[in-house]
Structure 1
Amino acid sequence: MGCFSIKCGLLAGSVFGAVIAILGGILIPVGDMIIERTVKKEAVIEPGTTAYDNWASSEIAVYRQFWLFDVKNPQQVVQEGAFPEVQEKGPYTYKTRYLPKANVTFNPNNTASFVLPMGAIFEPSMSVGPEEDTVTTLNLAVAVRFVFWIFFQGAYSFTNSSLFQHRTVKELLWGYNDPILKDTIGLFSPYNGTSDGPYNIFTGKDDISKVSIIDRWRGETKLSFWNDTYCDMINGTDGSSFAPFVDKDVPLYFFSSDICRSVSASYEATMNLKGIEVYRYSLLPSTLASPVDNPDNKCFCRNYETTKNCTLAGALDISSCSDGRPVFISLPHFLQGSEYLREVVLGLHPDEEHHKTFLDVEPITGFTLNFAKRIQANMMYGPAKDITVLNKVKDYTLLPLAWLNETATLDDKTADMFKRELISRIDMLEIVQQVLLIAGVIIFFVCLIAFFCVRRKSKTNLG
């Protein structure tokens, strides 16, 4: 009778173990469903969700670090036609986008409208010197007039001003009153007190796969800068977030008003950011490749003469969207650009680690937790027989003026909250699943083996 009770107990233990293991197995898909449903709910951009709190907040500081290119041989360039030699000077750091989104409106078609107020506050403690530091740089007025001269071949009046000038960091970046153009001119002027947008984005309420995707920018569903259906497309989000459950095999698309176009970023590596697993995405070399290597970029080529019949890679002419200023955008030090660009300007040293643009995206929520947007502003000058200061210039030269590194990363407090509210709960659920599954299997097999051992012993004793 005692032996029978032991057998029953062992059988019951096996059944119990099997039930526990099955429960652990069931919890895997059920737990995944719970996580997916919760994340999708919290990823919708509407008041009360985690996504909305992150989207509307201005607590995460965004900084712009600037490195300005100081021309070391201006006289030799003008008098002898020498290649300009530059040395970067910086960083000069500004806190930007510290203001929350303005004019936020939720629309009936599950979109939200807003504008991004822009401002820049100088941060001396994060800079190599004051804003009053001076650099020798290209005379912006001459560069502007040179471009007009290219198109109108001297029909535009030109004053033989110096090709180079001395300007403070503040003047070059944010503007100064130019005596030639009789207007305020600067690389990023006007900036303070202006805004980007308005934007119209999908909230994801009806379709979470569309969350944060830009529906309209400045009231339009497409751009008007490139006169081409492909190049004028507005694709993806603004880069601050993407749809949840990111697939690293699928590129991420985002639109940047700084470069007046949409771009894509591809998965590069899985990183650890303050204890949070993130996917790092970076721009591919094809983004600024010449049309020879990437035919899709043909519509971004605007001038055959200055781009050597559209064979140059690495620079984007954005004059059509920068109030007529002849600005070319590239990666810092012409990273991923044609070798020619670095042959006619001495002192450039491109480096992938310091000069590439990347996004660190948390794959479950789709939130961008860390990013570095790095772009360089350049202007062109070249040979012009009717212009004294350009008499000795031998070829078109794209001269770097400054490059910026716009960065933001989640702080320790936000990282701890993120780990506590999401990562730790997912980890705990996975631990419970594994414990139940493993414990159930162990109990099942131990009891089953013990049952057969007791059964064999019973038969032996009876025999």
Structure 2
Amino acid sequence: MGCFSIKCGLLAGSVFGAVIAILGGILIPVGDMIIERTVKKEAVIEPGTTAYDNWAASEIAIYRQFWFFDVKNPQQVVQEGAFPEVQEKGPYTYKTRYLPKANVTFNPNNTASFVLPLGAIFEPSMSVGPEEDTVTSLNLAVAGAYSLLPPASHILLDMVINSTNSSLFQHRTVKELLWGYHDPILKDTIGLFSPYNGTTDGPYNVFTGKDDISKVSVIDRWRGETKLSFWNDTYCDMINGTDGSSFAPFVDKDVPLYFFSSDICRSVSASYEKTMNLKGIEVYRYSLLPSTLASPVDNPDNKCFCRNYETTKNCTLAGALDISSCSDGRPIFISLPHFLQGSEYLREVVLGLHPDEEHHKTFLDVEPITGFTLNFAKRIQVNMMYGPAKDITVLNKVKDHTLLPLAWMNETATLDDKTADMFKRELLSRIDMLEIVQQVLLIAGVIIFCVCLIAFFCVRRKSKANLG
């Protein structure tokens, strides 16, 4: 009778272990479904969700760091036609994007409209010097007028340059170069980012993800249009992806991420590079491929971005994007800092450039479950073109078209410790706890089942031996 009770108990234990193991197994898909449903719900852009709180007014501080290219031999360039020699000077740091989205409106087609207020606050503690530091840089008015005016007007332009005691280069403060100064030639305020403070970017229309979470944050319209009007080409004028601050949840690292940047007037894609640990949170690092700014010779898709055959050497130069069509005709070219991933020629005609992949590439660190960008560095360089002109005194010794770097910018942000702890506590810790419960139930159930079953057969064999 005792032996029978032991066998029954062991059988019951085996059944109990099997039930626990099955429960643990069932919890895996059920738990995944719970996680997926919760994340998708919180990723929708609507009041009350985690995504909305981060989207409407991000608490992560965004900074713009500027490095200027100080020209060391301006007289030799003008008088002897020498290659310009530059020296990097910076960073000069400003806090930007500190204002929440404005004019937020939710539309019937599951989109949200808004504008981004722009402002910049100088951060002395994060800068090498005050905004009043001076830089020897290209004269924006001279280079701009040279590019905009036909050769027939160059004699008149030369008279204006001489009458205002201007030259190809000028000495300006950091503040003037960035945010504007009164120019004697144009008799107007000009600067690399003028006007900026008090202006807005947009309006934007983005999908909320309420009806289709895969479209969350994807840009539907920018300035009221579904496509750009800068490139006169269907492909180059496409507005693809989000603004880069977030993507659809459950990121697949085998699929590139697309985002639009109004700073460069185009959409780009970033590809998975590696998995990293950011303050205890696993993130996927995405970076731009060399093909993004490759010449049409190497990437035919970029042919529509080539605007000027003369200045780009018949569209064979890589690494520079002519954005004159979206910068009021100014001869502005955008590149990566120090012409990283650009043609060697660009660094041969401007001395003092030293591209470095680690310090000059653009990247995004994306948390794969939520699709939130938790750390990023958008690095772009502003360049202007000038070239030879026999009727302009300050340009008649110039031998060839030169793309001169003026400054490069690193727009960067990363989540702080408080936000990281909240992110881990509210989301990751719950997911980890669910996974632990799943594993404990599955492993414990299998162990109980196996031990009880083995013990049952041992007892039964012993019982048979005693009866024999």
TM range (shorter): over 0.9
Partner Cα distance (2:109, 2:67) in 1: 43
State the secondary structure of the residue aligned to 1:323. Answer: coil
Partner Cα distance (1:178, 1:160) in 2: 12
Q: Per the alignment, do residues 435 and 155 of structure 1 end up closer, same or farther by CA in structure 2, a change over 3 Å counting?
A: closer
The corresponding residue for 1:65 is 65
Residues 20-46 of structure 1 show CA distances to partners (whole Å, capped at 9, x for unaligned) of: 000000000000000000000000000
Task: State the 1:441 CA deviation.
Answer: 0.4
Residues 382-410 of structure 1 show CA distances to partners (whole Å, capped at 9, x for unaligned) of: 11111111111111110000000000111
- Give the conservation status (yes or no) of the 8 Å contact 2:271–2:287: yes
Residues 439-460 of structure 1 show CA distances to partners (whole Å, capped at 9, x for unaligned) of: 0000000001101111111111
Q: Per the alignment, do residues 156 and 400 of structure 1 end up closer, same or farther by CA in structure 2, a change over 3 Å counting?
A: closer
Task: State the 1:155 CA deviation.
Answer: 11
**Unaligned stretches of 5+ residues in structure 1:** 144-153
Q: Per the alignment, do residues 28 and 58 of structure 1 end up closer, same or farther by CA in structure 2, a change over 3 Å counting?
A: closer
Task: State the 1:160 CA deviation.
Answer: 7.9
Partner Cα distance (1:335, 1:173) in 2: 22
Partner Cα distance (1:181, 1:289) in 2: 35
- Give the conservation status (yes or no) of the 8 Å contact 2:378–2:411: yes
Match of 2:432 among 399, 424, 427: 427
State the secondary structure of the residue aligned to 2:170. Answer: strand
- Give the conservation status (yes or no) of the 8 Å contact 1:81–1:393: yes
CA RMSD of aligned residues (A): 1.3
Partner Cα distance (2:251, 2:338) in 1: 32
Task: State the 1:156 CA deviation.
Answer: 7.8
Residues 75-119 of structure 1 show CA distances to partners (whole Å, capped at 9, x for unaligned) of: 111111111110010000000010000000000110000000000
Q: Per the alignment, do residues 421 and 403 of structure 1 end up closer, same or farther by CA in structure 2, a change over 3 Å counting?
A: same
State the secondary structure of the residue aligned to 1:115. Answer: strand
**Unaligned stretches of 5+ residues in structure 2:** 148-163
Partner Cα distance (2:122, 2:415) in 1: 21
Partner Cα distance (2:286, 2:356) in 1: 17
TM-score (norm 2): 0.95
- After the TM superposition, which segments of 4 or more aligned residues of structure 1 sit over 2 Å from their partners? 154-157
- Give the conservation status (yes or no) of the 8 Å contact 1:61–1:98: yes
The corresponding residue for 1:120 is 120
The corresponding residue for 1:31 is 31
State the secondary structure of the residue aligned to 1:32. Answer: helix
Task: State the 1:161 CA deviation.
Answer: 3.2
Partner Cα distance (2:17, 2:60) in 1: 49
**1:305-384 superposed matches below 5 A:** 305-384=310-389
- Give the conservation status (yes or no) of the 8 Å contact 2:112–2:208: yes
Higher mean displacement: 7-16 or 322-331 = 322-331
State the secondary structure of the residue aligned to 2:303. Answer: helix
Partner Cα distance (2:222, 2:461) in 1: 79
State the secondary structure of the residue aligned to 1:130. Answer: coil
Partner Cα distance (1:155, 1:350) in 2: 30
- Give the conservation status (yes or no) of the 8 Å contact 1:373–1:407: yes
- Give the conservation status (yes or no) of the 8 Å contact 2:146–2:386: no
Partner Cα distance (1:408, 1:106) in 2: 27
Partner Cα distance (1:323, 1:306) in 2: 18
State the secondary structure of the residue aligned to 1:259. Answer: coil
TM-score (norm 1): 0.96
Task: State the 1:423 CA deviation.
Answer: 0.4
- Give the conservation status (yes or no) of the 8 Å contact 1:248–1:267: yes
Total equivalences in the alignment = 452
Partner Cα distance (1:330, 1:203) in 2: 32
**1:3-18 superposed matches below 5 A:** 3-18=3-18
Task: State the 1:323 CA deviation.
Answer: 2.1
Residues 265-296 of structure 1 show CA distances to partners (whole Å, capped at 9, x for unaligned) of: 00000010110000000000000000000111
Q: Per the alignment, do residues 164 and 234 of structure 1 end up closer, same or farther by CA in structure 2, a change over 3 Å counting?
A: same
- Give the conservation status (yes or no) of the 8 Å contact 1:161–1:389: no
Q: Per the alignment, do residues 160 and 310 of structure 1 end up closer, same or farther by CA in structure 2, a change over 3 Å counting?
A: farther
- Give the conservation status (yes or no) of the 8 Å contact 1:160–1:387: no
Partner Cα distance (1:189, 1:92) in 2: 17
- Give the conservation status (yes or no) of the 8 Å contact 1:160–1:389: no
- Give the conservation status (yes or no) of the 8 Å contact 2:65–2:92: yes
- Give the conservation status (yes or no) of the 8 Å contact 1:160–1:388: no
The corresponding residue for 2:165 is 160
Partner Cα distance (1:129, 1:161) in 2: 27
Higher mean displacement: 49-58 or 197-206 = 49-58
Residues 365-396 of structure 1 show CA distances to partners (whole Å, capped at 9, x for unaligned) of: 00001100000000011111111111111111
